């Protein structure tokens, strides 16, 4: 369904439009939820996002694409759920988890677009790469998911995450570096030999 017609259908509360929206976005919303929260909360996030879309679609003015708007709602729902989890955790412990993230956020260095090399990616199985991505922080996973899997532009990601484009580029650079290091460590000496051949 063409995007404008889909939006009009959603604004009319047309059940066919909502079915189409679900087919198009449920899996992608789930991917973002997994990046942020882990497997347990995926269905809750999808449900909450669709409730928010239903409540707010009439306010959608089309300043961004429908997909960007949906992803932004998804990230906000994930942040809300994460905030609730963290508040519960803080009751049980005095140890903060923000220090490393805050330090990382303030670092501004030249950005390059290098992902782990094709040779490195081919050497590892899809399961190993998936496990490596899962071991990253929530923000790193989200950034790699939006850029490398969903294929979004830096501008779209910046709009979804409500951050400047430069910040997104910088954080994505470090996320890729961390992923590359994890993958290289998985290969160890064996990987070095393969690269030389």
- Give the pLDDT confidence of 8-21 residue by residue, as tens digits: 999 999 999 999 99
pLDDT at 99: 36
SS3 76: helix
Worst-scoring range by mean pLDDT, 57-66, 89-98, 110-119, 139-148?
A: 89-98
pTM: predicted TM-score of the whole model, two decimal places = 0.60
DSSP-assigned letter for residue 41: G
pLDDT at 160: 87
Q: Is there a contact between 153 and 160 (Cβ–Cβ < 8 Å)?
A: no
Q: What is the mean pLDDT of the chain?
A: 77
Backbone phi and psi for residue 140, each to the nearest 5 degrees, phi listed first: -60, -45
Residue range 30-63, pLDDT digits in tens: 888 888 777 667 888 899 999 999 999 999 988 8
Q: pLDDT at residue 151 above 70?
A: yes
CA separation for the pair 62, 144 (Å, rounded): 26
**pLDDT band at 101, cuts 50/70/90?**
very low
Give the chain's domains with CATH numbers.
3-92 (1.10.1740.10), 98-196 (1.10.10.10)
**pLDDT band at 102, cuts 50/70/90?**
very low
Residue range 19-28, pLDDT digits in tens: 999 999 999 9
**pLDDT band at 194, cuts 50/70/90?**
very low
Backbone phi and psi for residue 94, each to the nearest 5 degrees, phi listed first: -95, -5
Interacting residues of 179 by C-beta distance below 8 A, sequence separation 6+: 115, 116, 132, 133, 136, 140, 144
Higher pLDDT, 113 or 188: 188
């Amino acid at each position: 369904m063409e995007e404008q017609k889909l939006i009009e259908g959603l604004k009319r509360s047309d059940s066919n439009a909502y079915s189409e929206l679900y087919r198009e976005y449920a899996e992608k919303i789930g991917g973002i939820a997994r990046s942020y929260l882990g497997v347990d909360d995926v269905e809750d996030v999808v449900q909450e996002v669709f409730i928010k879309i239903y409540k707010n679609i009439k306010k959608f003015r089309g300043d961004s694409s429908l997909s960007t708007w949906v992803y932004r709602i998804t990230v906000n729902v994930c942040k809300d759920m994460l905030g609730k989890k963290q508040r519960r955790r803080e009751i049980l412990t005095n140890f903060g988890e923000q220090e490393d993230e805050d330090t990382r956020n303030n670092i501004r260095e030249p950005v390059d677009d290098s992902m782990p090399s094709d040779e490195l990616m081919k050497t590892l199985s899809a399961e190993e790469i998936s496990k490596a991505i899962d071991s990253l922080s929530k923000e790193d996973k989200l950034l790699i998911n939006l850029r490398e899997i969903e294929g979004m532009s830096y501008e779209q990601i910046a709009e979804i995450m409500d951050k400047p484009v430069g910040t997104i580029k910088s954080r994505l650079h470090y996320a890729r570096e961390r992923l590359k290091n994890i993958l290289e460590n998985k290969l160890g000496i064996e990987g070095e030999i393969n690269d030389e051949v």
